[in-house]
Amino acid sequence: MRKMLKRFFTIGLCLFFALSCFSGCAGRNGTTQSKIENKVQKTVENMTLEEKVGQMMIPSFRIWQDLREETKDGEEPEKTNITELNDEIRACLEKNHFGGTLLFAQNFKDAEQTYKLVADLQSSNQKSSDIPLFVAVDQEGGYVSRIGFGTVGIGNMAIAATGDIASATEMAQIHGNECKALGINMDFAPVIDVNNNPGNPVIGVRSFSDDPNMVSQYGKSFMDGLAGTGTIATLKHFPGHGDTGTDSHTGFPLIDKSYEELKAFELIPYQEAINHGAEMIMTAHIQYPQIENQTYVSTSTNEEVYLPATMSKTILTDILKGDMGFDGVIVTDALDMGAITDNFEFEDVIMLSINAGADMIILPIVTNTDIFAQTDGVVDMTVQMVKDGKISEERINDAVTRILTLKEKYGILDQNDFTVTEEKLKQCKDVFETTQNRDKTWELAKKSLTLVKNENNAYPLQNAENENTLILFADSCASRVGYGELVKNMLSIEGITVMANTRDNKEECLEEAQKADNVILISRAYNEACLDPETDDGFSTETFDEIISARHKEGKTVIVISCQLPYDAARFPDADAMILTYSSSSLREVPNEFGEGSGYSPNLAAAIEACFKGDELTGKLPVNLPKLDKQYKLTNEILYAR
């Protein structure tokens, strides 16, 4: 009976995108705001405390490893990717009334399997809840793309390099349409952090630019593209992860800046996005001691650490919701990142984050039955904290009201049919079998390619079809060698040799480079250490230096292609031509000559092809490229200006 009453209050909450009104960030239907508020309020009033707390939790069922099994000879129990639900996960969903779930690469095998998985997640949840799930994915495009069989995209920095703000909308529409086809209604994108620290180990090409105004414009355009497909955009990582020297996945970053300093730089894109209609923002696990000075004794070091933004009421409630006027949903970054697990007790993380103003919590990713048990018990644990007075029910009600308001805006509350039919499966598969998205992404990749240097007519290659060309990959991008083979197949040129430099084949690489008529060197800097020949990440740079020097002695030229962070442009000042692509992803399975058969980022392939075809490269630098000092460290002196 209670379930029927709840359906009465929620049914007909919106006409899904009928006469959609896109003021700033789209996604709103014609229902008036007052009607939305009234219906959501009635729904909240009829929910139990357990149901309300459940709405605030986002689990991720990624890998199943049953640690309860006995194994022989100390072997680990088998690990399997969760591409379909087992009965324990279904029961967990039915019990906990979760507000959402997050998918990772391990959950994706193909379009049909994913569609069925998402439908099963929703159906299992529906057995006890009238409120469908947010189904989220980190589909930023480029370097961070989870849907392996889909359109990988070119990444944010490459989008900005096109010089066309509309490119962000176009790329986001592709991601949004593919998400929607699979039943995914939320994308944890775009990143609107300003990459003002070129040594940043975690943001880099995930950022549009080191200029906050440029980030603002492209970020808003990306938001619009997602919303236009009915996919909720999630801005990250508030209040800004671009000026860190530590990755919060493995360490605990600290930014020693005042609130005024953040307002003058990092907060500009967030304020612009909020003014534009932002509906969901993700927090950063970063310490800001000048803003939040409350401390906690680290569980691993016993030293005092500052509460990160994720647990700071000053940052989330006073600044984001108060000063900046954000009335949407705040979601934490994942709670299994090193910044959190190395320093805080799990129960305290939940309590502090909710009290700080976080509306939804991304729970530690399930990779074994121990973490699964923690996930299955988190609602009960949190409910008890509410009953004990550690968390106010008023804070819970505020969070759930925000969550349901967002679900109502996107028509999610009205969805109740998650049956899988052949017609639905065909419609889903058709989205991924068309070449339209792949062709558009290739076009955008070509538009982003940036030629920062070209001397001695090195670019494009001359008479390449009648000559021998070596394409040599640094060890740091050995997993990208397939891009060379792909372009070789696409061009059908016999005289192309594709190699990767290793610790053992330096002399062979030098020999091949001297024999070749043309040489293209592929460099991949994913951190500052990749620029230093003395490191494991950067030893190939020495090989490249020697190749460039030896060829110059014989009057021959060298093209260098950067396939991730553009800052390696400063590492090879003697290269005759330098091309920036801003992105690439691993390519262990080489697609056919038409680029079909594997999801891949087209940036690098487009750059290699351009060397042979002589395309005009029109990309514009979206960041300042600094010079290096003699120790191969980035300096404050600019080599190539934005």
Active site residues: 249, 333
391 and 53 in contact (C-beta within 8 Å)?
no
Burial of 361 (0-12, 13-18, 19+ CB in 10 A): buried
Q: Which two tokens stand for residue 226?
A: 């997602």
25 and 227 in contact (C-beta within 8 Å)?
yes
- In angstroms, the first-to-last Cα distance of the chain is 63
Burial of 596 (0-12, 13-18, 19+ CB in 10 A): exposed
What residues pair up with 577 in beta bridges, in sequence order? Answer: 454, 559
Q: ∠ CA 392-397-399 to the nearest 5 degrees?
A: 100
What residues pair up with 28 in beta bridges, in sequence order? Answer: 21
208 and 192 in contact (C-beta within 8 Å)?
yes
What residues pair up with 308 in beta bridges, in sequence order? Answer: 287
As a three-state string, the secondary structure of 92-148 is HHHHHCCCEEEECHHHCCCHHHHHHHHHHHHHHHHCCCCCCCEEEECCCECCECCCC
d(CA 332, CA 330): 7
d(CA 134, CA 353): 20
Which run of H or of E encompasses 297? strand 295-297
What residues pair up with 235 in beta bridges, in sequence order? Answer: 281
Which run of H or of E encompasses 223? helix 212-227
The CA–CA distances, whole Å, from 403 to 99, 325, 331, 358, 410 equal 8, 17, 10, 11, 11
Which run of H or of E encompasses 635? strand 634-640
